[in-house]
């Protein structure tokens, strides 16, 4: 029953709404993700600046990358290729490019409606823009509950299971020992709040992403003459023009869209919770940075995995052999030797560990929406998450993952309804940024010009 409902939410409702929303934001914004692609790098350069006492734009970026880059890039791509053929990667690219526009608007709106806290940090996300942007507190409450269940509890247990099983299979580490080690490390991080989570992510995420990217570059260098043929195969397979590989047009499209959405999370409302905490001069600055996060996830990291697999020759249409993470491990080992498989395991552990930090913060943010003052509540939440991490390391979490998968789909539906409701506000925000740039100014939000909206003036001082 739960699997049927989850399939209906994802395959019928959510995919249609996500693709439609991505197209709307892309076309109506005059292809903002392409217009400002070059600007992503200059904004990212300024994002490295740390305003004392605040989370920087770059730190917010790496925390969201920590959540986006993970199992979807390593195991998810392999599943997409196994079930949909190489053509599924083309549709992953396409959904990622459209998702950049969706992420741009949801993260810009999260910045606009963020709230200032007495400790100098900010809070925001879909629950806040649903409340203050369109005054739909009921939707905001539903969203916060789903966020807490999905990320705060469900996916943390699942990620713990991924870490423990990977370490046990590759290095023989007992699952209980992995669970205990994670609990100790995460305790130090969790009780430091978003600033410590951001500081740790600022170290871990670039290391793990660049390490995996470097391994992919080595594979490309070793097989450089074959790369054009593989890229051509991906494109031809996407339209069912290559009968030598598995997956017709329909299967390739569905797998590419679904795995792409799973991987980059654009439109699900998770990343805006983190994007809102950054200190920036204009909300669109963070929207641009977060759009780049989707590019890193889907266009760069997923392509790396796809080329590692397809250049190995291990993928055989209809073979039914190795798949998922095992296919990625075997492919890298075929290129770089046995240590390649172990490298994938280590990368997966780092990805999963950073995802737990990200998931925890999303859960904390959902609690913060209901109560900012009850510190006992937050302490209980932290302890429960740590217990779930230890418990999850030794469990088979198929049921937990299936339930969290369903609630994540419902989470996305609530967020997309809110985004479409606020589309005019998003376009107004973009026009403000465009006009300031056109006049030669460094874009800054003038709160006085937004007095018709319920924005927090303390978050946007003159």
Q: For 379-405, what is each residue's pLDDT tens digit?
A: 888 898 898 888 888 777 666 667 777
Residue 35 vs residue 73, higher pLDDT: 35
Residue appearing with tokens 């204009």? 282
Which DSSP category does 224 fall into? G
User: What are all long-range contacts of 188-193, with beta carbons under 8 Å and residues at least 24 apart?
Assistant: 189/357, 190/357, 190/360, 190/382, 190/385, 190/386, 191/382, 193/121
**pLDDT at residue 321 is higher than 70:** no
- Of 257 and 323, the structure prediction assigns the larger pLDDT to 257
What average pLDDT does range 64-77 have in this prediction?
70
> Is pLDDT at 439 greater than 90 in this prediction?
yes
pLDDT bucket at 3, cuts 50 / 70 / 90: confident
Lowest mean pLDDT among 303-307, 334-338, 341-345, 365-369: 341-345
Q: Residue 136: what pLDDT?
A: 93
* pLDDT at residue number 429: 96
Q: What does the pLDDT read at residue 346? A: 81
Is the pLDDT confidence value at 287 over 80?
A: yes
The percentage of residues in the chain with a pLDDT greater than 70, rounded to a whole number, is: 89
Given this model, what pLDDT does residue 249 score? Answer: 65
Indicate whether 151 pLDDT > 80.
yes
43-49 contacts at long range (C-beta below 8 A, 24 or more positions apart): 43/285, 43/288, 43/289, 44/289, 44/292, 46/285, 47/278, 47/280, 47/285, 47/289
pLDDT at 414 over 60: yes
Higher pLDDT, 206 or 21: 21
pLDDT value for 176 = 87
For residues 275 and 288, the answer to whether their CB atoms sit within 8 Å is no
- For tokens 């996060």, the residue is 293
Query: In the predicted model, what is the mean pLDDT of residues 269-290?
Result: 90
> What pLDDT is recorded for position 139?
93
Q: How many CB atoms lie within 10 A of CB 110?
A: 31
Q: What's the CATH code, domain 19-315+333-450?
A: 1.20.1740.10
| pLDDT given at position 200 | 78
pLDDT at 32 over 90: yes
Instruction: Classify 242 as helix, strand or coil.
Output: coil
CA distance 180 to 174: 10
pLDDT in tens, 84-112: 888 889 988 988 999 999 999 999 999 99
Q: Highest mean pLDDT: which of 137-146, 181-190, 250-259, 346-355?
A: 137-146
Q: What is the share, in percent, of the chain residues with pLDDT greater than 90?
A: 28
The predicted structure's pLDDT at residue 257: 74
What's the pLDDT at 296? 86
Q: Is the pLDDT of residue 325 over 80?
A: no
Q: Reply yes or no on whether the pLDDT at 215 is more than 90.
A: no
The DSSP string of 391-434 is HHTTS--HHHHHHHHHHHHHHHHHHHHHHHHTHHHHHHHHHHHH
Tell me the pLDDT band of 135, cut-offs 50, 70 and 90: very high
Mean per-residue pLDDT, 175-198: 84
Query: Can you tell me the mean pLDDT for 355-382?
Result: 83
> pLDDT at residue 427 above 80?
yes
pLDDT at 29: 95
The pLDDT score that the predictor gives to residue 246 is: 54
Predicted local confidence at residue 248, as pLDDT = 60
Higher-confidence residue of 26 and 323: namely 26
**Residues 6 or more apart from 29 whose CB is under 8 A from it?**
35, 101, 104, 105, 427, 430
Average pLDDT score over the chain: 83
Mean pLDDT, residues 271-280 taken together: 89
- At residue 30 the predicted structure's pLDDT band, cuts being 50, 70 and 90, is very high
Is a pLDDT exceeding 60 seen at residue 201? yes
Pairwise CA distance, residues 166 & 168, whole Å: 5
Q: Which residue's entry shows tokens 């925390």?
A: 63
State the pLDDT at residue 245.
57
More confident residue, 422 or 376: 422
Secondary structure percentages of the chain, helix, strand, coil, to 5? 75, 0, 20
Least confident of 243-247, 327-331, 442-446: 243-247
Instruction: Give strand pairing partners of 278.
Output: 55
Q: How confident is the model at residue 137 (pLDDT cuts 50, 70, 90)?
A: very high
Burial class (CB in 10 A: 0-12, 13-18, 19+), 214: exposed
Q: What band does 45 get if pLDDT is binned at 50, 70 and 90? A: low
- The stretch 286-297 carries a mean pLDDT of 89
């Amino acid at each position: 029953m739960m699997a049927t409902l989850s399939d209906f939410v994802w395959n019928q409702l959510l995919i249609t709404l996500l693709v439609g929303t991505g197209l709307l934001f892309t076309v109506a914004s005059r292809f903002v993700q392409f217009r400002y692609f070059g600007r992503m790098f200059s904004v990212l350069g300024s994002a490295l600046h740390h305003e004392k006492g605040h989370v920087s734009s770059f730190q917010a970026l790496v925390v969201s990358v920590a959540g986006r880059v993970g199992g979807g890039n390593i195991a998810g791509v392999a599943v997409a290729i196994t079930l949909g053929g190489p053509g599924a990667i083309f549709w992953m690219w396409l959904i990622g490019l459209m998702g950049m526009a969706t992420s741009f608007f949801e993260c810009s709106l999260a910045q606009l409606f963020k709230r200032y806290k007495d400790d100098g940090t900010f809070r925001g996300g879909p629950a806040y823009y649903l409340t203050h942007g369109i005054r739909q507190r009921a939707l905001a409450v539903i969203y916060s509950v789903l966020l807490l269940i999905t990320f705060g509890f469900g996916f943390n247990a699942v990620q713990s299971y991924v870490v423990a099983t990977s370490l046990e299979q590759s290095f023989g580490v007992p699952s209980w020992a992995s669970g205990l080690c994670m609990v100790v490390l995460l305790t130090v991080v969790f009780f430091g709040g978003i600033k410590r989570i951001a500081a740790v992510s600022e170290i871990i995420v670039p290391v793990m992403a660049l390490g995996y990217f470097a391994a992919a570059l080595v594979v490309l260098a070793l097989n450089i003459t074959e790369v054009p043929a593989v890229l051509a195969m991906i494109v031809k397979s996407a339209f069912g023009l290559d009968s030598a590989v598995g997956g017709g047009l329909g299967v390739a499209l569905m797998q590419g869209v679904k795995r792409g959405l799973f991987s980059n999370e654009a439109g699900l409302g998770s990343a805006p919770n983190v994007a809102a905490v950054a200190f920036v001069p204009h909300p669109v600055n963070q929207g641009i940075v977060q759009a780049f996060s989707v590019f890193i996830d889907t266009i760069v990291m997923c392509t790396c995995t796809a080329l590692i697999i397809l250049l190995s020759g291990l993928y055989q249409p209809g073979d039914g052999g190795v798949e998922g993470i095992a296919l990625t491990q075997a492919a890298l080992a075929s290129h770089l030797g046995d240590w390649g498989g172990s490298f994938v395991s280590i990368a997966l552990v780092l990805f999963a560990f950073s995802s737990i930090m990200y998931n925890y913060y999303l859960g904390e943010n959902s609690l913060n929406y209901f109560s900012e003052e009850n510190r006992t509540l937050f302490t209980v939440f932290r302890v429960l998450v740590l217990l779930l991490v230890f418990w999850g390391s030794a469990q088979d979490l198929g049921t937990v993952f299936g339930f969290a998968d369903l609630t994540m789909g419902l989470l996305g539906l609530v967020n997309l309804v809110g985004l479409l409701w606020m589309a005019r506000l998003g376009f107004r925000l973009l026009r403000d940024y465009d006009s300031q740039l056109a006049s030669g100014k460094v874009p800054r939000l003038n709160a006085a010009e937004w007095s018709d909206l319920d924005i927090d003036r303390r978050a946007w001082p003159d």
